[in-house]
A and B are shown apart, each in its own frame.
Chain A
Amino acid sequence: MRQRSSQPTGPVADFLAAQESKGLLRFITCGSVDDGKSTLIGRLLYESKQIFDDQLATLSQDSERVGTQGGNLDFALLTDGLQAEREQGITIDVAYRFFSTDRRTFIVADTPGHEQYTRNMVTGASTADLAIVLIDARKGVLTQTRRHSFLVHLLGITNVIVAVNKIDLVDYDSTIFQDIETSYREFSQEFGFTNLSFVPVSALNGDNITTASAAMPWYHGPTLLSILEETDAHVLSHDKPFRMYVQSVSRPNQDFRGYLGFVASGSLSVGDSIQVQPSGKISRVASLPSFDGDRQHVVAGESIQIVLDDEIDISRGDLLCTPESVPDVGNQFEAFMVWTDENQMMPHRSYLLKIGTKTVGVMIDKPKYKINVNTLEHLAASTLELNDIAICNLATDRPVAYDPYVNNRYSGSFVIIDRITSKTVGAGMIRHSLRRDSNISWQHTSIERHHREELNHQRSATVWFTGLSGSGKSTIANALEVRLHAMGLRTYLLDGDNLRHGLTRDLGFTTADRIENLRRASHVAQILNSAGVIVLACFISPFESERTSAKEVIGEENFIEVFVDAPIAVTEKRDPKGLYKKARAGELPNFTGIDSDYERPTSPSIHIHTDELEIDASVEAILQHLRNLLLLP
């Protein structure tokens, strides 16, 4: 940030200068329903003079209309911003609030206490330096207190203030406060909170919030606000190794190439060596240009630009570090996962993983175990539901650079994005790499796909038939293969039913098994294509995600999706294998079209309506498409 060209002087200027150099603390409040989280924040805002007259007027209006404090001001209404929340009197989403004192500026994440909103608490905690855990003095340590404390620990927060609230309702009894402190210290030992303090408060009346309470002469500790002002709590660390994910490469002209990014940890000076991960290439910092003039030294928490001595290949998503202290690089690791979506996690489905600024494809294994957040017990699980927390192995489709989360919050965390809905469906914290991937490398072979294609005098590709059972996939594919064979082309018809006699014999028809079935089939098709063979693949393949994955495994340029479309009334009438009849009788669970969904392809290469088109005409349509793509002689 630039300095003013002419520094103003005088008392106003001095005061402003002091305000500008204040530090920032981000914290979260967590507690059970009705512990008074929102009230506490409302009280902090009120006491630090952050509530203006007009807001106070609205508040007293609201308090009379929907308040729960009799005629008194209901501070919770200040933070429960969404209409649904005000009506139901609960907090359903993370709210961010701001206040400042002469010492510090604060950003507060007010996070809900309801079990179904774990994801919101995790969201709030992910950027916090400190957590206030609220406990109702009348109720003591509850199951939810344990859950919140575990999540605080999981997200790497080590500074915790336990606020024992509603102490006025137990007649300011010191023994109740001490009992709660003892039992909290006991159960939280394993979380290793390095900076743990306890304060008895009444958020509603303001005891020990900003001023020491006359009602509790037995308490000699600091007020809640003074702990917030004095805690030395910084997530951004300057003394850790340098880490910066490249956001973009700036090339305003031929002579300038700057790498933009946010310094997640460490510091960097002009002349320092830089290593690029995952490529491992090394260069040196030539300059650190900025809008406010060239910099000599930058530290964690700044958004910067780096110019290097020589032109090396760096792109968005690469992690810059210093050669003395490099991150892990690999494509398999173990992580704590938090699932944040209503749709359950599908093991082996291909999702997107965004770590830092890099987005790659990823497959998540079946959880090693789930964690019961109330008891911390390990539970067996085959998938993850909304708000589940589990340990999983993940495999990315390209190597990524990362650190364990405990060492570095920003290079150890990632989110999972659904390829189809684009929603953020999960979040994760990396525990450690799985060394097994470093022992598996690609063996280079001299004969490549194009050599084999030349020998066969043909180009290879996969024609992927998708559609309901009985829609005519196998019939059309068979007729097509006969035609291609007659043209002297090498083909193979990969049929879902036939594969189930061998390669996929261990799989059933649950969603998870269908995903694994298609993963195997895609790889077989890819291998056959590499062998120079044209593949005709017939699979119901009911989910868009798996068809997209298949396309990626096989290669978009080799993948022709044929949607064999017939209304279910027609396919059910055809019922060549008698499967619909069994499904209707309840003998075949998870049958596509009956009790399992078929997601219609949105943009297939070819769309065939088999209730209208004859087999020969269908085959001719596909042949024409292949000719257009120059796949046929």
Chain B
Amino acid sequence: MKAQSQTQLSHLQLLEAEAIHIIREAVAEAVNPVMLYSIGKDSSVMLHLAQKAFYPAPLPFPLLHVDTTWKFKEMIEFRAKIVDLVGADLLVHQNPECIELGINPFDHGSSVHTDMWKTQGLKQALDKYNFDLAFGGARRDEEKSRAKERVFSFRSDKHVWDPKNQRPELWNIYNARHGAGESIRVFPLSNWTELDVWQYIYLEAIPVVPLYFAKVRPVVERDGMLIMVDDDRMKLRQDESIEQRMVRFRTLGCYPLTGAVESESVDLEGILTELFTATTSERQGRLIDHDGAGSMEKKKIEGYF
């Protein structure tokens, strides 16, 4: 952080310092840590904070991307670019069972798709490499059950989260102790909001996937959402047609499950201005959260990030 003439730190400086403290503390206490890297804006910020936390030393952990083979093409291109830029070790895991069964969001629906590729895939990867601590970019403002999750969140040997039996977390003292097979998920961005993330990206000039910026893109209106036709695996229904619209994404995931929003925001200034006057939350574009109230809590109990 730049030396300040004033003695009072801004809220972003405080959030940055808190996140760095959390990342360093987790690494100091873990045996085999990993950072979940989902290519989105939160992952970009988390990765940037990790570089700051250990500068001039290299990152003391690899990145793990749990790939579903259904991410936007631009996300995968961006992933390669960033890994190269940062000089990080990247592990990519694709659930072999899903490949074999051809699990996809169109035939199997969003919940089977997400459970098999992401939840089960993540568990497989954590077990395979024996990671005992995994960083995630989740924020408490995203969803109600997240709002109650600890920064250091304990998982049983079956990766289960027990929301009613969480360890109390006081001051800035974190308890990462766990038994064999058990693990800890750590969320350095717990106290950040979507706006904080974008302000920080703007201030620190952190690279993000271009899909966040508005551009004319081929989209189909389906179930009330604008789905981008990212490749020919997307089959059009009878009454559907591809339209060219000026859209951007507030959140990124599997392209058939991620709704675009119509927007004219072609740069960070535009996005920030849009956010200051926003009327819908970012998770609105996520199909998986609409499966019913409490759906995220249920997924998390089952081991979803």
Asked if B55 and A291 sit within 8 Å, CB to CB, the answer is yes
Residues of A within 8 A of B145 (CB): 81-82
In-complex Cβ contact of B173 among A23, A293, A303, A414 (8 A): A414
Interface flag for B53 (CB, 8 Å): yes
Residues of B within 8 A of A251 (CB): 57
Residues of B within 8 A of A53 (CB): 279-280
Asked if B3 and A296 sit within 8 Å, CB to CB, the answer is yes
Considering the chains assembled together, what is the distance between the CA atoms of A164 and B300 in angstroms? 38
Residues of A within 8 A of B243 (CB): none
> How near does chain B come to A89, taking the closest CB pair, in angstroms?
14
A-side interface residues toward B, CB under 8 Å? Answer: 1-5, 8, 12-13, 15-16, 19-24, 52-55, 58, 61-62, 78-84, 86, 92-98, 100, 104-105, 107, 119-120, 122-123, 126-127, 234, 236, 238, 247-248, 250-252, 256, 258, 260-262, 267, 289-293, 295-297, 299, 301-303, 305, 316, 340, 352, 354-357, 409-410, 413-415, 417, 422-424, 427
B-side interface residues toward A, CB under 8 Å? Answer: 1-4, 7-18, 20-21, 24-25, 27-28, 51-58, 140-141, 143-148, 163-164, 166-173, 175, 177-179, 182, 190-191, 193, 195-196, 199, 202-205, 269, 272-273, 276, 278-281, 284, 293-294, 297-298
Asked if A55 and B172 sit within 8 Å, CB to CB, the answer is no
Interface of chain A: mostly helix, strand, loop or mixed: mixed
Considering the chains assembled together, what is the distance between the CA atoms of A306 and B280 in angstroms? 44
In-complex Cβ contact of B21 among A16, A234, A262 (8 A): A262
> How near does chain A come to B28, taking the closest CB pair, in angstroms?
5
| Contact A52 B57, CB 8 Å, known A81-B145, A422-B178 | no
| Contact A23 B1, CB 8 Å, known A54-B281, A248-B24 | no
Asked if A83 and B56 sit within 8 Å, CB to CB, the answer is no
Residues of B within 8 A of A409 (CB): 171
> How near does chain A come to B109, taking the closest CB pair, in angstroms?
21
Q: Which 3 A-B pairs have the closest CB atoms?
A: A81-B144, A24-B11, A303-B20
User: Can you show 7 pairs from A to B with CB atoms below 8 A apart?
Assistant: A2-B1, A54-B284, A97-B147, A98-B193, A247-B25, A417-B175, A424-B169
Considering the chains assembled together, what is the distance between the CA atoms of A594 and B70 in angstroms? 59
Known: A93-B166, A96-B190. 14 other contacts (CB 8 A): A1-B2, A4-B205, A16-B199, A80-B144, A81-B143, A96-B140, A97-B141, A122-B168, A122-B170, A236-B9, A295-B3, A297-B3, A301-B17, A424-B167
Closest chain A residue, CB of each to CB of B295: A83
Asked if B205 and A82 sit within 8 Å, CB to CB, the answer is no
| Contact A410 B171, CB 8 Å, known A16-B202, A22-B10 | yes
Residues of A within 8 A of B190 (CB): 96
Asked if A427 and B168 sit within 8 Å, CB to CB, the answer is yes
Considering the chains assembled together, what is the distance between the CA atoms of A58 and B169 in angstroms? 30
Residues of B within 8 A of A297 (CB): 3
> How near does chain A come to B1, taking the closest CB pair, in angstroms?
5
Asked if B175 and A247 sit within 8 Å, CB to CB, the answer is no
Closest chain A residue, CB of each to CB of B298: A83
